[in-house]
Amino acid sequence: MSCWLLQCSMTTIDALPGYKLRKHIGKALQARSSAIKTMLEHYNVAARALSPLRHTLTLEEVVEYTFLSDFQLLQDTREDISQRPWASPTACLALDTYFKMCCAQEEIIRLNVEIRRFVTYLQDEDWYLRTCEEQSLTSHPALAYQI
């Protein structure tokens, strides 16, 4: 079950807003319903075998979950990590912002390279068009005008 959840979280689900997101998840769940049911049965058997008993899930609950963070699987571990300082919504937001800033720095470096390439392309294209215009000026003045 956890592998499937991880795969869902790595797809483009994060990029889709509200209604489209729910439709996308619904279609993905329908396409994988037999695998989800099998994994759900395995999870529920394991949850019942633990001492103390853990919460079992129904297919309806799984369908209602929108994001991986909605699954409370990690709360029933030996140590409740949900009470850790880094698990608070504020800390999660700060971490997300930090990693986005790191990615933004990498993006700036990459864009600086691409900007130089694009400027070179524009200069080469200008030179090429001017050369073509000069070559066709005597034989095809109308075409040279269009160039």
CA dihedral 44, 48, 51, 52 (to 10 degrees): 80
Residue-wise burial string across 52-86, b where 16 or more C-beta atoms lie within 10 A, e elsewhere: eebeebeeeebeebeeeeeeeeeeeeeeeeeeeee
Taking only the tens of pLDDT, the chain with its 147 residues reads 444 444 444 444 444 456 777 777 777 767 777 787 888 889 889 888 887 777 788 877 776 665 555 555 555 556 667 677 877 888 888 988 999 999 999 999 999 999 999 999 999 999 999 999 988 988 888 888 887
pLDDT of res. 145: 84
State if pTM tops 0.75. no
